[in-house]
Structure 1
Amino acid sequence: MSKIAAIMTDFVEDIEVSSPKKALENAGHEVVIISDNGKDHVDGKKGTVFSIDRSIEDVDVSSFDALLIPGGFSPDQLRTDERYVNFTKKFIDSGKPVFAICHGPQIFIQAGATKGRTMTGFTSVRPDLENAGANVKDEEVVIDNNLITSRTPDDLDAFNKEIVNALK
């Protein structure tokens, strides 16, 4: 069983949390939802309330086997906070699996983790990734070593399959 860190804040895309979380848990893994200190929940864009398990101040990459970054407006907010940027960069540098969907890859830009990497993201995010040096594909799932990225909720079946496979 692997322990997966899921970083998010308010206005996260609900289904991009609940669907991968369910797939990972059904495969026997634990998903730990991480957000700001003092928060007990995160509100999804569509009204889902997600309970916070840990604060970003209290976690370390060494305690987790993988990182999940769901989309929505959450990643755009997280990328302005060095705690989340550094957490993401340490994960990528560690070689541990990093899963990002929709707007999730935005945080890779601030983490300096795009140059020469192949990835995808939501339509409006792909030009930003390309401008930051990524090789961008318009495909439902793109795997580049430890990075697994996807475009939209429509791609969740393929995304979930690949993230579960990465932890086998």
Structure 2
Amino acid sequence: MAKIIAIATDDFEDSELVSPKEALEGAGHTVDVVENEASKTITGKHGATFETVKGIDDAKLSDYDALLIPGGFSPDKLRVDDRYVELTKEFLESDKPVFTICHGPQLFIQTGITDQLTLTAYKSVQPDLKYAGADVKDAEVVIDDAHQLVSSRTPKDLPAFNAAIIDALA
């Protein structure tokens, strides 16, 4: 089964980490929540908490089969840290799946390769991605086969998103 890294920090959108993590684990996969340091508790916008498994400095592409980036305010906080941007770029340039929802794709803008991506995001993030050159679609799930990228717009898309990410790992 696959080992997935979920990068998040405080103020992530609770359902966008809780729901995919539960779906992935329910399918037999492992999900490591990673932030700046190991054994730190991060808290979502609505109170969900997770203890981080490791710190970003110890997270390597070779240790994981896929990347999960939930939305909320977390991606905007992470995209100013080159460690998260570099890891995200490595995943996008690898043959490993990347799963993101809502505000998660904000992180892609800093990678310098947004113009190679086809994706969706929350309505207010879509123009930013378009200006950065992405091919943005308005659909509950968008799959970019060239980058093994699965993206969705909002928590209401979670059932379709979760099904798509499980399929991507099959």
TM-score interval w.r.t. the shorter chain? over 0.9
Say which is worse superposed, 87-96 or 108-117, in terms of deviation.
108-117
1:39 deviates by 5.7
Deviations 1:115-136 (A, max 9, x none): 0321000011000000000111
Q: Does 1:154 align with 2:156?
A: yes
1:41 and 2:41 matched: yes
Q: CA deviation at 1:38?
A: 5.8
In the alignment of these two chains, the number of paired residues is 168
**TM-score, length of structure 2 as denominator length:** 0.97
State, as a whole percentage, how many aligned pairs show the same letter: 57
- The runs of 4+ residues in structure 1 deviating greater than 3 Å are none
Q: Residue type matched to 1:23 in 2? A: A
Q: Which residue does 1:106 correspond to in 2? A: 106
**How far apart are 1:30 and its partner, in Å?**
0.1
Summarize the alignment of residues 131-146 of structure 1 with structure 2, pairs less than 5 Å apart: 131-145=131-145, 146=148
Match of 1:8 in 2: 8
Structure 2 counterpart of 1:32, which letter?
Answer: D
TM-score (normalised: structure 1): 0.98
Shift of 1:19: 0.2
Q: 1:3 to 1:27 in 2, by over 3 A?
A: same
How far has the Cα of 1:49 moved from its partner?
1.1
Gaps of 5+ in 1: none
The superposition leaves residues 78-127 of structure 1 with CA deviations (integer Å, 9 ceiling, x where unpaired) of 00000000000011111200001000000111012310321000011000
Question: Partner amino acid for 1:148?
Answer: V
SS at match of 1:129: helix
CA distance in 2, matches of 1:52, 1:65: 18
Matches within 5 A, 1:108-123: 108-123=108-123
- Are the aligned partners of 2:109 and 2:132 in contact in 1 as well (CA < 8 Å)? yes
